[in-house]
Amino acid sequence: MSDTHTGVPSALEYELPRPVPADELAACPAGEVFRRVGDKWSVLLVVLLGGRPHRYNELHRAVEGISQRMLTRTLRGLEIDGLVRREVLPTVPPSVEYSLTPLGRSLLVPLSALADWAVRHEGDIRRARSDSTGR
């Protein structure tokens, strides 16, 4: 890790963990992720599974508001992306347990930071909104 990065002047009032690869972001890599983060269900499920593994209907009940279709779809997507692991338990009534993969757990970190920001600045946003409401 070289210390001296690009000659970016310290014109930033807030410090950025990284210069933020705007190009990269525009390209695609982060785009995919932000897509996932975009839909409420994915984030919610990751967070939920971050606490504990859940079974299908357990998730259905926990979220309550999501349709089976979306629950399945979202879980599939997360599974495909390697964020969630799906394990079928050999019980008489079939049970399926969903859990976070290490990759999924690692996502939980920046996700938490964002969620934290959201909670912390919820008031600011609402105020800003009502300030220009009804126009």
Partner DNA sequence: CAGCATCCTGATTGATACTG
Partner DNA sequence: CAGTATCAATCAGGATGCTG
Give the footprint of DNA on this chain (CB under 7 A): 39-41, 55-58, 65-70, 72-76, 86, 88, 93-96, 98
- Residue 10 CB, shortest distance to DNA, in Å, is 26
φ, ψ for residue 119, nearest 5 deg: -65, -40
Task: Give pairs for 128-133: CB < 8 Å, separation 24+.
Answer: none
Question: Given the complex with DNA, which of 17 and 94 has the nearer CB atom?
Answer: 94
Q: Among all chains, which residue has been given the structure tokens 């779809």?
A: 73
Give CA–CA dist 4/128, Å, rounded.
39
Give CA–CA dist 89/95, Å, rounded.
5
- Element (DSSP H or E) covering residue 27: helix 22-27
- Contact with a copy of itself (CB under 8 A): which of 55, 71, 81, 97? 81
State the binding string over 13-42 for a copy of itself (x if CB under 8 A, else -): xxxxxxxxxx-xxx--xxxxxxx-xxxx--
- Residue 96 CB, shortest distance to DNA, in Å, is 3
Calculate Rg over the CA atoms of the chain.
19
Binding residues for a copy of itself (CB under 8 A):
5, 13-22, 24-26, 29-35, 37-40, 43-44, 47-48, 50-52, 63, 65, 79-83, 102-103, 105-119, 121-122, 124-125, 127-129, 131-132, 134
